């Protein structure tokens, strides 16, 4: 662990503080375009379209800030990934509202508000936020082993229950289930009364790693065994609408991919496989075939697993298949699975039926991953990529359980943003 003194919360640059960022974004993103009407741009400050735009930009900045706060609570994300999408969404909602209500607005003011807002946030990130490194104090009792192995944090192990010793830390972590001495319980109470952030070790570990540990897993690990049903049904509707809208654009890409597969390795073009979906229901999943056809003989578990697993540089992957896998084009036929209600855009990846039964027998609580619909992309995929072997499956399952536990539109948005990056870079492909 590192014991050097880092920047205390009170010493952190004001540029990195959320309140400062929100206040200045409101001033710069809304007031500057408005004031320009009285100096550089034609028009009067109190013309109805100009004042409507002023309030529109104020709302857009507020929405974007709220979205950033909601998404940034999840691990494995840089704030720079969220700035542009959240600003686009916030300002896009305002534009849609103006179009729907037919209120008069100033187009130039809206565009300037968006551009100034985004430029200001990236400036703050470059000069302040990316330099901030969290420092967390550890109460030395209970299940704290392994915390110092988590990267991206300076860990400081407390030696005595004195709040003054944690003055250079952004937060304090403790195992609330441990049998703490009275003086340490008093220390945590004093920290909370002083307004310091105090985290339970289990939740903090999950937040920093993006995984839910499998050891001693039970329903208590999730709070509720059934994710939010309202969002579950809303997500199904959004999935269907998005798939229906995307299908006309995806069909030409799929046609080119099918022709390339035919010319490179012949038939069949599609790979069909029985997989387990929501509530353990079996469905036929579709993908473009990216590997040479193989025969799986017998019911030998080791042989079947080896045949279904894909390793780095697997010789069975065809030339065209390697390109399709790199940019995830091979997954496009699963749009039809989404339209049939069998899959979602985002969720745990569905496993082959033959493997699922083995995993259920070997891995505790494995079947719980079927409480939500499987997805084309997922939390495990953007954090881990393709995996093989029981150890990799265990780690993947920890990411899947994290997704289920924190099932929400904000986590789906984060996965979507990171999926775009994965598609552009080809990260994790095999």
Check residue 7 and give its pLDDT.
Answer: 41
270-287 confidence digits (pLDDT tens)? 999 999 999 889 999 999
Check residue 426 and give its pLDDT.
Answer: 63
Check residue 217 and give its pLDDT.
Answer: 57
- Give the mean pLDDT of 168-189: 90
Check residue 281 and give its pLDDT.
Answer: 93
- Give the mean pLDDT of 109-116: 94
Q: Which of 112-116, 227-231, 256-260 has the lowest mean pLDDT?
A: 227-231
Enumerate the domain spans of the chain: 9-130, 134-209, 229-425
- Give the mean pLDDT of 114-131: 85
376-391 confidence digits (pLDDT tens)? 999 998 888 766 666 7
3-state SS record for the chain? CCCCCCCCHHHCCHHHCHHHHHHHHHHHHHHHHHHHHHCCCCCCCCCHHHHHHHHHHHHHHHHHHHHHHHHCCCCCCCHHHHHHHHHHHHHHHHHHHHHHHCCCCCHHHHHHHHHHHHHHHHHHHHHCHHHCCEEEEECCCCCCCCHHHCCCEEEEECCCCCHHHHCCCCEEEECCCCCCCHHHHHHHHHHHHCCCCEEEHHHHHHHHHCCCCCCCCCHHHCCCCCCCHHHHHHHHHHHHHHHHHHHHHHHHHHHHHHHHHHHHHCCCCEEEEEEECHHHCEEEEEEECCECCCCCCCCCHHHHHHHHCCCCCCCCECHHHHHHHHCCHHHHHHHHHHHCCCCEEECCCCCEHHHHHHHHHHCCCHHHHHHCCCEEECHHHHHHCCCCHHHHHHHHHHHHHHHHHCCCHHHHHHHHHHHHHHHHHCCCCC
Check residue 1 and give its pLDDT.
Answer: 40
Domain spanning 134-209 has what CATH number?
Answer: 3.40.50
Residue scoring higher pLDDT (307 or 383) = 383
335-387 confidence digits (pLDDT tens)? 999 999 999 999 999 988 888 888 888 776 788 889 999 999 999 988 887 66
Does the structure show a pLDDT above 50 at 151? yes
**Total-model pTM:** 0.75
């Amino acid at each position: 662990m590192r014991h050097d003194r880092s920047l205390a919360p009170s010493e952190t640059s004001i540029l990195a503080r959320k309140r400062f960022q929100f206040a200045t974004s409101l001033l710069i993103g809304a007031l500057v375009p408005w004031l320009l009407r009285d100096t550089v741009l034609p028009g009067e400050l109190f013309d109805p379209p100009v004042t409507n735009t002023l309030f529109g930009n104020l709302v857009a900045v507020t929405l974007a800030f709220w979205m950033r706060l909601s998404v940034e609570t999840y691990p494995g994300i840089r704030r720079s990934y969220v700035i542009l999408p959240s600003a686009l969404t916030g300002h896009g909602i305002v534009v849609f509202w103006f179009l729907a209500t037919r209120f008069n607005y100033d187009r130039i003011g809206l565009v300037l508000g968006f551009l100034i807002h985004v430029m200001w946030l990236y400036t703050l990130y470059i000069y302040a936020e990316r330099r901030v490194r969290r420092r967390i104090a550890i109460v030395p009792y209970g299940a704290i082993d392994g915390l110092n192995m988590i990267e991206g944090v300076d860990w400081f192990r407390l030696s005595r229950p004195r709040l003054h010793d944690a003055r250079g830390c952004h937060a304090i972590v403790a195992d609330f289930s441990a049998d703490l001495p009275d003086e340490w319980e008093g220390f945590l109470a004093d920290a909370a009364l002083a307004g310091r952030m105090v985290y339970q070790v289990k939740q903090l570990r999950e937040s920093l790693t993006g995984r839910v540990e499998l050891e001693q897993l039970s329903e208590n690990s999730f709070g509720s065994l059934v994710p939010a049903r309202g969002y579950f049904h809303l997500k199904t509707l959004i999935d269907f609408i998005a798939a229906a809208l995307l299908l006309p654009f995806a069909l030409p890409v799929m046609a080119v991919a099918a022709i390339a597969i035919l010319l490179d390795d012949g038939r069949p073009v599609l790979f069909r496989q029985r997989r387990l979906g929501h509530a353990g229901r079996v469905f036929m999943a579709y993908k473009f075939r990216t590997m040479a056809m193989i025969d799986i003989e017998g019911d030998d578990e080791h042989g079947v697993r080896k045949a279904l697993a894909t390793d780095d540089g697997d010789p069975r992957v065809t030339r065209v298949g390697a390109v399709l896998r790199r940019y995830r084009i091979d997954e496009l036929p699963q749009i039809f699975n989404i339209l049939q209600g069998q899959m979602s855009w985002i969720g745990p990846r569905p496993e082959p039926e033959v493997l699922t039964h083995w995993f259920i027998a070997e891995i505790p609580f494995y079947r719980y991953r079927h409480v939500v619909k499987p997805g084309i992309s997922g939390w495990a995929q953007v954090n881990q990529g393709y995996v093989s072997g029981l150890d990799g499956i265990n780690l993947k399952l920890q990411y899947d359980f994290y997704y289920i536990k924190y099932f929400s539109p904000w986590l789906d948005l984060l996965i979507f943003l990171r999926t775009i990056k994965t598609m552009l870079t080809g990260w994790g492909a095999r």
